[in-house]
Amino acid sequence: MAFRDKKALKSDEMLKGAERAPNRSLFYAMGYTNDELSRPIIGVVSAYSEIVPGHIHLDKISNAVMAGILMAGGTPILIPSIGVCDGIAMGHQGMKYSLPSRELIADSVETMAMAHCFDAMVMVPNCDKIVPGMIMGATRVNIPTIVVSGGPMLAGHTDKGEVSLSNVFEAVGARKANMIDDDALENYTQNVCPTCGSCAGMFTANSMNCLSEALGLALPGNGTIPAVYAARYQLAKLSGIKIMEILSNDLKPRDILTEDTFINALAVDMALGCSTNSILHILAIANEAHIKLDLNIINEISKKVPNLCHLDPAGIHHLEDLHASGGVHAVMSELDKGGYINTSLKTVTLKTVKENIQHVSNKNTDVIRKIDNPYSKTGGIAVLWGNIARDGCVVKRSAVDPSMLHHKGPARVFDSEEAAIAAIYDEKINKGDIVVIRYEGPKGGPGMREMLNPTSALAGMKLDKDVALITDGRFSGASRGASIGHISPEAASGGEIAYIKENDLIDIDIVNYSINLLISEDEMNKRKSEMKLKEPEELNGWLARYSKFVQSANTGAIINLL
């Protein structure tokens, strides 16, 4: 093989020589031939399962990847990955396992790659924490890797037009407020998710699949080609072929993931209006790449990079519309016109960003606004700072109604998501209120649950333009309105959010990146000396370990064992 003419393979450590005869015998037991074992061994990490709509078809995507690897002269070996469906886990204790599962996935990628001496890997994820988890593991291992996702779901259709999962969550709120009846709710339930794939809006899964392109780790189309299109399977085959070229060129994730690459990805994030969860994941991936990023750089980029897309839930467009308009690379082409990205960077195409986008055109300027006609001159995400968020908090600014960009109101304080959602459903939240949900951070939750049920209930009850919600937990990309999450330090760590009292006035000024509790510093210090933190619940299983070692949201909620 040409690969062996150039250099030894990592898999030689496992397979080559008389002393590795026992190892080879175990491969022969699985039906591998001597010829197969003489080729590069490519791990295909697939998150296929029958519990996640975004993953239900990944067996076929993985098979297409493996076909591409075989065509290009490699030996593909399929290995599994777990994956939590955030939508199914939403609103109950299962959501505590979603974000922590990212660490399990990263650890399992590392484990399988190192234990079995893979020469290269293809990551086949699709949904929320699986994409960043796989990228984190691959970056840690640092062997040639490419990402190919399962692709987005098509939008659903009702008599209200195109819809997605966010609409049924909001319909629950409308039903609770008697704005719709059971039949209308069931109509949404049956029709919002018409195909396999990651849910059709710019939620976390699609955010990370799009950003995989911006990070240079995936081929064009990875984030936007719908799951049910033949082009998705063609992309998978091409990714299988491409990984052999990447291996031949010995291009590794940390060769691609430079500081400038992350800045590019954040610029694309701002232009697309991605999920606030993308900030957690970009920070965590950067940590694996040994690159220091913090929330300050996010606002620096947000202040200058315009928001070009209003995808569901911020607007009416869905991922299939973004794909038809030219996809992520068309967005990057617009950003290049404004000088907002570095086009000299390496990518898994074995071309530079400039080469990747030079022939790309923006085919629909309603979906992807031109650089001189953005939705806003500032990016889709903003980081706020203040006396209840000393280490920052995050809001999807592009999904906030302009009337709520500056809002002052009384705090309605809840120590769990369940308590808050009960009050919302009981119509105890009034226009002008600011709902505070605390003890839901990475450590305190534990697991930093998403608050899609409360935000959707407020939107369904037509309160999203009148009520803000702040939390040390996080929000689904499907959330809209003044939903401010990741408040750091979190309540369980003694953060100031723990000392907010019912009816305290809070001032939220997204335009000026600030969030403050309107009490004096002396009063805050007094409360800290008098008020006790909530007693942590007794934990069992690995969440106890996670709670002990997880860091604050402003670090990306990474694990630090030191």
Report helix, strand or coil for 507: strand
547 is catalytic: no
Question: Do residues 284 and 557 lie in contact, with contact meaning Cβ atoms separated by under 8 Å?
Answer: yes
CA dist list (Å): 380 to 13, 372, 377: 47, 16, 10
Packed helices 230-248 and 58-71: angle between N→C axes, nearest 10 degrees: 40
Q: In what order do the strands lie in the sheet with 75-80?
A: 75-80, 41-46, 120-124, 145-147
Within 8 A by CB and 6+ apart from 545, the residues are none
3-state helix, strand, coil in the chain (%, to 5): 45, 15, 40
The H or E element spanning position 301 is helix 295-304
- Round to whole Å and give the CA distance between 377 and 366: 16
- Give the whole-angstrom CA distance, residue 388 versus residue 384: 10
| C-alpha to C-alpha distance for 295 and 520, rounded to whole angstroms | 26
The answer for residues whose C-beta is within 8 angstroms of residue 35's C-beta and 6 or more apart is none
Catalytic residue, chosen from 476, 483, 488, 547, is: 476
Distance CA 427, CA 253 (A): 50
Q: Residue 154 gets which letter from DSSP?
A: P
d(CA 353, CA 346): 7
Kindly state the tokens that stand for 414: 């809840």
- Residue 140 and residue 170 in contact, taking contact as beta carbons nearer than 8 Å: no
Give the residue carrying structure tokens 């990805």: 265
Residues 47-67 as b or e (16 or more Cβ within 10 Å = b): bbbeebbbbbbbebbbbbbbb
CA angle (65 as vertex; 64, 68 as ends), nearest 5: 90
The first and second tokens of residue 471, run together, are 């939390």
Rounded-to-integer distance, Cα 109 and Cα 82, Å: 11
Instruction: Give catalytic residue positions.
Output: 476
